[in-house]
Structure 1
Amino acid sequence: MTATIDRPQTARPDPAPRRLSSAKRTRRVTRPLQYLALAGYIVFLGFPLLFLLITAFKTPQELQSAAPSFLPQSLNFDNFTQATEKANLIPAALNSLIVSVATTLIVTVISLPAAYALARFKTKLRTVATGWILLSQVFPFILIIIPLFLVLKQIGLINSLVGLILVYTVWSLPFALWMLQGYVAGIPVELEEAGAMDGGSRLLVLRKIILPLLAPGLVATSLFTFISAWNEFFFALVLIQDPALQTLPLTLARFVGAEGQVQLGQLAAASLLATIPSLVFFALIQKRLTSGLLSGAVKG
């Protein structure tokens, strides 16, 4: 027999510290790039608002100067006064507010039960409805405006805020349905089954369990619908002829002259005032918008 000699085995180095140090080096490289990309994105989004703010306080002489400065020499509020008096912004803003709020309420009330049915009930009607939602987003405005105008003319809703609300509701409803049904599908069915096992009716389960979890989706849908109706221009241009019923985007178009000469200071002031309701609406609901969909609903 040959004797075997046991050789001492050398311990292999643990690769975990090496992987940890490599991850740290990667984070050191990628984190500044992430901050740089975020800063660039913030500048990209914030520069138009900053430009409006600066331009709104400049005098006509500063705007027409051959060597304009970036910042205004003094705070000039004449553009705000002239824009409000000339374009009649307050009634136009009230018209836009009425149309936007009414559209948001109607779309939310209709899309909530419809989105729940699309997400929970697997029927042939669901396939047809999903196809309609996707197909409706393909058609451009110009393709449907003529038949839409003729239909509204037959029922007497041309040059009416009610007709405009109806058009905005029909146009915003497919995308709102698509958004909400995604939120509903993300809520586990087990939560509804647990509520039913505890003796709750379907209506009680929907009101006590599903609706609170669906709040972020409702907020996001409401925000999209409100901003879409507030900023819409083309439908309002075709359907509204009475100056007293014109919305804010139509009123802002008055600052462009017949030869394309833009009253830049007044337009900037009016546009800045027109963004305030959207910013206020977003500030009021941003906590709900950023909250988690199922925060704390399911454990384990």
Structure 2
Amino acid sequence: MSAARISPAGRAGQYAALIAYVVFLGFPLLWLLSTAFKNSREIALGGSGLIPSSPTLSNFGDAIDRANLVHAGLNSLQVAVATTVLTVLLALPAAYGLARFKTFLRPVTLGWVLVSQVFPTILVIIPLFLILKQFELIDSLPGLTIVYVVFTMPFCLWMLMGFVANIPRDLEEAAAIDGANRLRILISIVFPLLRPGVVATALFAFISSWNEFLFALVMIQTPEKVTLPLTLSRFVGAEGQVQLGALAAGSLLATIPSLVFFALIQRRLTSGLLSGAVKG
């Protein structure tokens, strides 16, 4: 049976819905870009136009110089990269073992994953703070990295388990019949097919740790060790007064590393999906 043909009106409706969805997703970034180049007078008057009447770069100067945005960005980059690497290295073998071997640890681990996703984060702040204090990891970037690894691991593990489960066992069995040992099978067959899963996991771990605010607010106390979200929060005054121009400029700059990271790995994600295709 041939697939139902879509009428021109239906196809036009699909394109219109897609364009509306893209505009819906892109408008906040467009508004952020517009506000970052507006001067304080235009922002105070509440100008609703997206194109600034008198574009200025002073907001970027305030964000970089006064808030020390570059140093905070380097701290966030250090924590995010370390979290991404550690999460992938730990989750990859664990996901393969849980997906391939039916042991008593499987239901326990799956239960831990599910509970960790529904458990309110705010409830673990104080116990976590006390535990890290005993190990002298409070107010340190390594301590913050450990916290991020623990809290991103469940979802990353769940993601990778799904990718491992989609790899046919027949490929591994065929390689074993040909004389390949377990390590050879993992390196030559399993890991190349898991490239899309690894890329997606790395992207999730990086963005989660890059944007995280609550744990950093509790764990980091020294101004020289603050991360980027903490620095951006300084543009909001104690009485709710917001330096909107500087905040928009800093937020715009804060999105650049995430966009660059996605641009660098999206090609690997696409090539991994194509190379991992298996004809049934």
Tell me the TM-score normalized by structure 1.
Answer: 0.89
Conservation of the 8 A alpha-carbon contact between 1:62 and 1:68? no
> What is the alpha-carbon distance in structure 2 between the residues aligned to residue 80 and residue 269 of structure 1?
5
Q: Which residue of 2 aligns with 1:11?
A: none
Query: Which residue of 194, 198, 221 corresponds with 1:218?
Result: 198
* Structure 1 residues 251-280: Cα deviation after superposition (integer angstroms, max 9, x where no partner): 000001111111111000000000000000
Identity of aligned residues (%): 64
Distance 1:128 1:111, change over 3 A: same
Corresponding position: 1:272 with 2:252 = yes
Query: Which residue of 70, 76, 79 corresponds with 2:56?
Result: 76
Corresponding position: 1:190 with 2:170 = yes
AA aligned to 1:35 is Y
Q: Which residue of 1 aligns with 2:186?
A: 206
Q: Quote how far apart the aligned CAs of 1:27 are.
A: 3.2
Q: Quote how far apart the aligned CAs of 1:88 are.
A: 0.3
Q: Quote how far apart the aligned CAs of 1:75 are.
A: 2.8
Q: Quote how far apart the aligned CAs of 1:296 are.
A: 6.2
Counterpart mapping for 1:281-296 below 5 A: 281-291=261-271, 293=273, 295=275
Query: Which residue of 48, 73, 77 corresponds with 2:28?
Result: 48
Conservation of the 8 A alpha-carbon contact between 2:192 and 2:276? no
Query: Which stretch shows the higher mean deviation, 30-39 or 44-53?
Result: 30-39
Q: Which residue of 1 aligns with 2:102?
A: 122
> What is the alpha-carbon distance in structure 2 between the residues aligned to residue 81 and residue 47 of structure 1?
24
* Structure 1 residues 39-83: Cα deviation after superposition (integer angstroms, max 9, x where no partner): 111111111110111111111111112555331123311110111
Residue 232 of structure 2 aligns to a residue whose secondary structure is: helix
Corresponding position: 1:246 with 2:226 = yes
Q: Which residue of 2 aligns with 1:298?
A: 278
Runs of 4+ in 1 over 2 A off after TM superposition: 26-30, 66-70, 288-300
AA aligned to 1:266 is A
Distance 1:67 1:42, change over 3 A: closer
Residue 41 of structure 1 aligns to a residue whose secondary structure is: helix
Q: Quote how far apart the aligned CAs of 1:36 are.
A: 1.6
> What is the alpha-carbon distance in structure 1 between the residues aligned to residue 203 and residue 266 of structure 2?
10
Residue 123 of structure 1 aligns to a residue whose secondary structure is: coil
* Structure 1 residues 5-48: Cα deviation after superposition (integer angstroms, max 9, x where no partner): xxxxxxxxxxx9xx99xx44x43332122112211111111111
* Structure 1: runs of 5 or more not aligned: 1-15
Q: Which residue of 1 aligns with 2:77?
A: 97
Query: Which residue of 171, 174, 186 corresponds with 2:154?
Result: 174
* Structure 1 residues 194-225: Cα deviation after superposition (integer angstroms, max 9, x where no partner): 11111111100100111111000000000000
Q: Which residue of 2 aligns with 1:13?
A: none
> What is the alpha-carbon distance in structure 2 between the residues aligned to residue 67 and residue 40 of structure 1?
24
Residue 215 of structure 2 aligns to a residue whose secondary structure is: helix
Q: Quote how far apart the aligned CAs of 1:178 are.
A: 0.1
Q: Which residue of 2 aligns with 1:64?
A: 44
> What is the alpha-carbon distance in structure 2 between the residues aligned to residue 97 and residue 72 of structure 1?
31
Q: Which residue of 2 aligns with 1:6?
A: none
Conservation of the 8 A alpha-carbon contact between 1:79 and 1:269? yes
Q: Which residue of 1 aligns with 2:87?
A: 107
> Is the radius of gyration larger for structure 1 or structure 2?
1
* Structure 2: runs of 5 or more not aligned: none
Q: How many residues align?
A: 280
Q: Quote how far apart the aligned CAs of 1:297 are.
A: 4.8
